[in-house]
Amino acid sequence: MAHQHNGHGHGPHIDTTGNLKVALFLNAGFAIIELVGGLWTGSLAILADALHDLGDSVSLGLAWYLQRLSARNPDTRFSYGYRRFSLLGALLNTVILVGGSVIILSEAIPRMFEPGTPMAEGMLLLAVVGISVNAAAAFRLTHDESLNARAVMLHLMQDILGWIGVLVVGIILLFRDLPFLDPALSVVISLWVLYNAIRGLRQAAGLFLQAVPEGIDLEGIESRLAQIEGVLSVHSTHIWSMDGVRHVLSTHLVVPEDADVEELFQIKCAAREAIEDPAIEHTTVEIEFVGEVCGLRGPAV
């Protein structure tokens, strides 16, 4: 008969909902100002960023709601809890970023060949405000580690870079008549956002599909488990992430047929030490005796 042992570690818990709420209201409020300012100055770069920020506001609202949902305790429907809803928020956020970037590019590229003349002074004013607002929102999320919060941080950091670009272009336009710089800047911003969004989409989709989380050495963990005294072999080791921060591990250890209770207890304790990763919050170790039939791979050897 197989013996199943469950060990539970506890990784650091950080409440991100309050920070996401502040970031949401800062971003949404400024997006409206930005939209009006873009029409006032005639700047496509600002209008493009206004569209981006409106998308960010939707993403932040979604992230805030799903982060609150992810804090619920486990129940009979979601026995691991609701933390994967945070991961769902990160996935949806990156999809929104990709879609918004494509829309902005479709508008900006044609304008490079027929640029208007934006109001440089207004661009400078909005750039200073934009950098300040997005920096304040980003600062609130500095210490949050969930994939959802990191996806939101990516939105905000890209906004700051974009506004720095608007600031530089506004200064140049004060002294030189180079109107093509405005749509060209919006193209550069959009391509940068698109590049990072696709990277984030790949990471979030991989975790959502239960890929091994980045930074986890699956072969190394199996190797350490196999070196435990009394363990003859290791198989069926799986690791997946609940939210990009907290992970789940299960594995099967084959032991001699005559192993006693004390030896099994020592193997269990050694297995916990061999994992050596506080991010692995839930651990399930199944002990199999030599010759015992494992439902996953046949007789244990």
CATH number at residue 227: 3.30.70.1350
Within this chain, do residues 68 and 177 fall inside the same structural domain, yes or no?
yes
CATH code of residue 50: 1.20.1510.10
Of 41-55, 135-149, 158-172, which has the strongest mean pLDDT? Answer: 158-172
Query: Which pairs with CB-CB distance under 8 Å and at least 24 residues apart come from 216-224?
Result: 216/247, 216/277, 216/279, 216/280, 221/249, 221/251, 221/274, 221/275, 221/277, 222/251, 224/274, 224/275, 224/276
Q: What is the pLDDT of residue 225?
A: 92
- Determine the average pLDDT of the residues in 91-103: 79
Within this chain, do residues 33 and 71 fall inside the same structural domain, yes or no?
yes
Q: What is the pLDDT of residue 1?
A: 38
Helix pair angle (84-111, 44-70), 10° resolution: 170
> Whole-number mean pLDDT of the chain?
77
Count of structural domains within the chain: 2
pLDDT at 69 over 80: no
Within this chain, do residues 193 and 234 fall inside the same structural domain, yes or no?
no
pLDDT at 17 over 70: no
What domain range is 278 assigned to? 213-299
Position 91 confidence tier, pLDDT thresholds 50, 70, 90 = confident
Q: Which residue has the higher pLDDT, 86 or 127?
A: 127
Q: What is the pLDDT of residues 174-183, one digit of tens each?
A: 888 887 887 7
Q: What is the pLDDT of residue 295?
A: 59
- Determine the average pLDDT of the residues in 64-71: 73
pLDDT at 213 over 60: yes
Give the chain's end-to-end CA distance (angstroms, integer): 15
pLDDT at 3 over 50: no
Look at residues 161, 188, 208 and tell me which one is the last residue of a structural domain.
Answer: 208
Q: Which amino acid is at 176?
A: R
